[in-house]
């Protein structure tokens, strides 16, 4: 018996399956990648509180959290938001960003814990006819009787997990493709603040940082080739000892097919 959550009586979230399921006449199911699912689980478990950014790194990535760049967290929050919007199609954002602090669940959200025994209505998960919906399924089609569904879970568990792993891999690859497109990255880097140019380098830093001490230390630690990649985007935070740098041959807000970039992750960079 697996544990799930019912949000606003319209959305089911099943952490073990990493799936979002609508509770409506047309039951839609979308699988999200594991980090995005873990982010949502943490927000639901601490739904009355603001969750600091550093708590996500420990909860989602465990011991590897110190090596994960901040951009990865933001990308997975973005994946989670798109999944929620595709399921419930409501203007209210369930995940609220608190600048320079972290994230929290919308205070107006009603959350009820449920289990797989009470999961779904009699028709369970209906098959979706279009190709995109089929690619996003996270559960097999069930008939109205509950017994066959139990047989699928117990008799073919290994096969089911293998299929789910392949499906999650395909969805993660699709999300990565979408995240690398202009419409996702352009607004993000447009919000960066320009620092004083250094030689041929045009330096931009994340505007939600408390100060730019770590950014400047990171720039001193790395030998940038600003002749080939003059546009430098630096992401750093005071309590996260990892600095992310992306260097490009032209501005990100003028992205074209000829755009070339290189990325770096510096570890162990502290403000003092």
Q: What's the average model confidence in pLDDT over 129-148?
A: 40
Which residues lie below 8 Å from residue 181, measured CB to CB, with a gap of 6+?
none
Q: Alpha helices of 102-156 — where are they, by DSSP H?
A: 131-135, 146-155
Q: Over 90: is that where the pLDDT of 92 sits?
A: no
User: pLDDT category, 207, cuts 50, 70, 90?
Assistant: confident
Answer whether 0.85 is exceeded by the pTM: no
* Residue 128, burial from CB neighbour count under 10 angstroms (0-12, 13-18, 19+): middle
pLDDT higher than threshold 50 for residue 149: no
* CA-atom Rg of the chain in angstroms: 21
For residue 55, the model assigns a pLDDT of 93
Can you tell me the mean pLDDT for 28-57?
Answer: 92
pLDDT-derived band at 127 (thresholds 50, 70, 90) equals very low
Q: Hey, what domains does the chain have and what are their CATH numbers? A: 1-113 (1.10.10.10), 190-265 (no CATH)
Mean of all residue pLDDT scores within the chain: 76
DSSP-derived pairing of the beta strands 240-248 and 261-267:
antiparallel
Higher pLDDT, 239 or 118: 239
Do 248 and 231 touch, CB atoms closer than 8 A?
A: yes
Two tokens, residue 272: 């003092």
Would you state the pLDDT for residue 255? 55
- Model confidence band, residue 95 (pLDDT cutoffs 50, 70, 90): very high
Predicted local confidence at residue 80, as pLDDT: 92
Listed ranges 39-43, 117-121, 200-204; the one with the highest mean pLDDT: 39-43
Strands 261-267 and 231-237: unpaired
- Name the pLDDT band for 144 (thresholds 50, 70, 90): very low
Rounded CA separation 53/36 (Å)? 14
- For 24-69, where are the alpha helices, taking DSSP H only? 34-45, 53-61
Over 80: is that where the pLDDT of 166 sits? no
Q: What is the mean pLDDT of residues 64-90?
A: 86
Q: Is the pLDDT of residue 251 over 50?
A: yes
């Amino acid at each position: 018996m697996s544990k799930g959550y019912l949000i606003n009586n319209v959305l089911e979230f099943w952490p073990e399956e990493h799936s979002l399921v609508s509770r409506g006449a047309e039951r839609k199911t979308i699988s999200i990648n594991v980090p995005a699912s873990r982010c949502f689980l943490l927000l639901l478990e601490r739904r009355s509180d603001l969750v600091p950014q550093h708590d996500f790194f420990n909860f989602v990535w465990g011991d590897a959290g110190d090596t994960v760049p901040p951009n990865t967290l933001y990308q997975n929050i973005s994946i989670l938001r798109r999944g929620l919007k595709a399921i419930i199609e409501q203007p209210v954002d369930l995940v609220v960003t608190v600048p320079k602090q972290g994230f929290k669940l919308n205070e107006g959200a009603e959350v009820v814990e449920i289990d797989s025994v009470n999961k779904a209505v009699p028709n369970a998960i209906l098959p979706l006819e279009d190709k995109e919906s089929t690619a996003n399924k996270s559960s097999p089609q069930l008939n109205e009787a509950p017994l066959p569904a139990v047989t699928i879970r117990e008799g073919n568990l290994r096969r089911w997990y293998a299929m789910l792993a392949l499906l999650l891999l395909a969805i993660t690859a699709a999300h990565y493709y979408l995240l690398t497109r202009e419409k996702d990255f352009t607004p993000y880097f447009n919000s960066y603040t320009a620092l004083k140019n250094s030689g041929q380098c045009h330096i931009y830093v994340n505007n939600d940082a408390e100060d730019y001490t770590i950014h400047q230390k990171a720039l001193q630690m790395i030998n940038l080739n600003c002749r080939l990649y003059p546009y430098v985007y630096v992401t750093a935070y005071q309590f996260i000892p990892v600095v992310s740098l992306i260097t490009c041959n032209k501005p990100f807000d003028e992205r074209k097919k000829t755009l070339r970039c290189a990325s770096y992750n510096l570890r162990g960079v502290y403000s003092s």
